[in-house]
Amino acid sequence: MSESADSAPGTDGHADGNVLFVVLDTVRKDHLTPYGYERPTTPALERFAEEARVYEHAVAQAPWTLPVHASMFTGRYPSEHAATQEDPYLADGIGTLAEAVRASGRATACYSSNAWITPYTRLTAGFDRQDNFFEVMPGDVLSDTLADLWQRVNDSDRLRAVADRLVELGNTAHEYLAGGEGADTKTPAVIDRTIDFVDDADGWFAFINLMDAHLPVYPPEEYAAEFAPGVDATAVCQNSKEYNAGARDISEAEFDDIRGLYDAEIRHMDAQLERLFDHLKRTDQWADTTVIVCADHGELHGEHGLYGHEFCIYDPLVNVPLMVRSPGLEPGREAGTVELLDLYHTVLDAAGAVGAAGTPSHGGESFDPTRSLLRPEARAFEGGDYGFVEYHRPVVELNQLETKAAEAGIELDRGSRYYSRMRAARRPDGKYIRNERIDDEGYRLDTDPDEAEPVGTDDPVVAETAAVLREFEASVGGEWDDVADDDVLAGMSDDARARLQDLGYME
């Protein structure tokens, strides 16, 4: 694809290269060695960081998988793409990153074991090849035409029972693979399939999501012995809802064990990525490939009295690792704010697919050069110092939390953070969180990076950030509607409730 001088990338003219996009699901920035972690969890990524741009203040658009991936795949905020817990599905009319890249002539592939990244949620739209958690239906069955058919099946009352049974079978297989001895089997297969894909394709875009660090964590023995020696993974708390509901206590010693298992899983992913990186180098594909490595969100291990990645939007969840290596992009550390939705434009730029974005056939966001991290004008727009986070009604987590609380005879406070929607504006030195049912929170991140001491809007940084958040809210649809019902599930559409039931997140 030829480009005019006005649209040529600002990275020594690089364009039309291969793209590898890696998401380390649920990985905290401060558990990676390129970000100063003292344990050697990621030696391969440490070497990768030497030739990459490393971002200190990358902001995820939500604290969980579905809306974050939808933002990366559409270039839109959660309130704009609407793939949230309240309606867990990307609408047909929204064009995706993979659709635009495929329209530009590249082969596309998605390999993931995350239950949210499937044709069922439409996050895989545009990928020629895919493999996902539906173990009973491998990716080559769900690709292309049959992926579209799968969506139609789920919209048909007559065929819905058939689809439900297939999803039930897929969930059963996924639960086995996510626990015990099956835990270390999926990531090597993802890497194997990715290697096969890139070797077969002539110009490619590969997206992979590695789920090892997501609960439950059962690392391979090789890495458990190094990072969690003597820890019985079946004895520690592997269900965050039990702790968050107050049904299960976790001591600091147990959290240490959980962190050890978590680090072991990160080390396993790093070793598998090294295998993929080495293959690209041996086959002379590395030089022409843009490689993006990030997390979609992080994880809490007792901070703020919470476990997992739910019911808050504190920095361990939304200030995520991000590293980008691209021909012509100068390596180094970047101290300014970037957002994960910028990666939509970055991939378009790297793949030479800027002309396919925003076309009538694509129906998605047009390419924005100020959003591409490959260009010198990246983030050079009004408000570019800020990143924004949205956490809609936590339907999925609440259903599970309420179950655990009821089993323990605990009554949850309906005025607590568990029932609250949240939004935040963040810049490197400050953050403002607007909560629906609890008090708003302001933090000076430059002096209080742990968000331990909230400050009010009498602080000028917090006041400015709160004002920017109000402007952002107005741009994406204004303030939330009041929630009068005690049950936050009551406002869900029947279709959204059915989809969550099918995926195993609701009874």
**Is 316 in contact with 298 (CB distance < 8 Å)?**
yes
Residue 10, exposed/middle/buried by CB under 10 A (0-12, 13-18, 19+)? middle
Instruction: Tally Cβ neighbours within 10 Å of residue 333.
Output: 10
In this structure, what CATH number is given to the domain that contains residue 178? 3.40.720.10
Position 167 scores a pLDDT of 42
At residue 478, φ and ψ (nearest 5 deg) are 80, -165
Position 120 scores a pLDDT of 78
Q: What is the DSSP letter of 275?
A: H
> 421 and 303, same structural domain?
no
Domain end among 339, 364, 385 = 385
**Is 23 in contact with 194 (CB distance < 8 Å)?**
no
pLDDT tens string for the chain (507 positions)? 233 333 333 344 345 799 999 999 999 999 999 999 999 999 999 999 999 999 999 999 999 999 999 999 999 999 999 998 777 889 888 999 999 999 999 999 999 988 889 887 899 999 999 987 554 344 444 444 444 554 455 455 555 444 444 444 444 444 444 444 444 458 999 999 999 999 999 999 999 999 999 999 999 999 999 999 999 999 999 999 999 999 999 999 999 999 999 999 999 999 999 999 999 999 999 999 999 999 999 999 999 999 999 999 999 999 999 999 999 999 999 999 999 999 999 999 999 999 988 887 788 999 999 999 999 999 999 999 999 999 998 777 788 899 999 999 999 999 999 999 999 999 999 999 999 999 999 999 999 999 999 999 999 999 999 999 999 999 998 777 655 434 445 555 566 566 555 544 555
**Is 219 in contact with 232 (CB distance < 8 Å)?**
no
> 206 and 103, same structural domain?
yes
Q: How far is CA 501 from the centre of its chain?
A: 22
Which tokens go with 284? 């002379």
> 395 and 380, same structural domain?
no
> 289 and 268, same structural domain?
yes
Residue 437, exposed/middle/buried by CB under 10 A (0-12, 13-18, 19+)? middle
> 489 and 342, same structural domain?
no
**Length of the chain measured in residues:** 507
Q: How far is CA 6 from the centre of its chain?
A: 32
CA dist 256 → 35, 130, 184, 267, 373 (Å): 20, 36, 21, 16, 36
**Is 283 in contact with 12 (CB distance < 8 Å)?**
no
In total, how many domains does the chain have?
Answer: 2
> 380 and 410, same structural domain?
no
Q: What is the DSSP letter of 481?
A: P
Indicate the pTM of the whole model.
0.88
Position 297 scores a pLDDT of 98
Position 358 scores a pLDDT of 84
> 414 and 356, same structural domain?
no
Q: Quick check: is 2 in a domain?
A: no
Which tokens go with 30? 């401060």
> 57 and 202, same structural domain?
yes
Helix, coil or strand: residue 321? strand
3-class SS string, 89-145: CCCCCCCCHHHHHHHCCCEEEEEECCCCCCCCCCCCCCCCEEECCCCCCCHHHHCHH
Q: Quick check: is 4 in a domain?
A: no
Q: Quick check: is 9 in a domain?
A: no
> 316 and 237, same structural domain?
yes
Which tokens go with 339? 């957002």
Q: Quick check: is 119 in a domain?
A: yes
Q: Quick check: is 11 in a domain?
A: no
> 64 and 189, same structural domain?
yes
Q: Quick check: is 202 in a domain?
A: yes
Find all residues with CB under 8 Å of 65, minimum gap 6, and list them. 25, 114, 116, 117, 296, 297
Domain end among 385, 408, 440 = 385
Q: Quick check: is 180 in a domain?
A: yes
Instruction: Tally Cβ neighbours within 10 Å of residue 243.
Output: 21
> 252 and 189, same structural domain?
yes
> 423 and 375, same structural domain?
no
DSSP per position, 24-35? ETT--GGGSGGG
Q: Looking at this protein, which amino acid is placed at residue 142?
A: L
Q: Scanning the structure block, which residue is given the tokens 């959204």?
A: 496
**Is 26 in contact with 255 (CB distance < 8 Å)?**
no
Domain end among 339, 362, 385 = 385
Give the structural domain span for 454: 388-502
- Helical pair 157-177 and 494-502, crossing angle rounded to 10 deg: 40
Find all residues with CB under 8 Å of 317, minimum gap 6, and list them. 60, 63, 297, 298, 299, 300, 309
Q: Quick check: is 3 in a domain?
A: no
CB burial readout 168-193, b (16+ within 10 A) else e:
eebbeebeebbbeeebbebbeebbeb
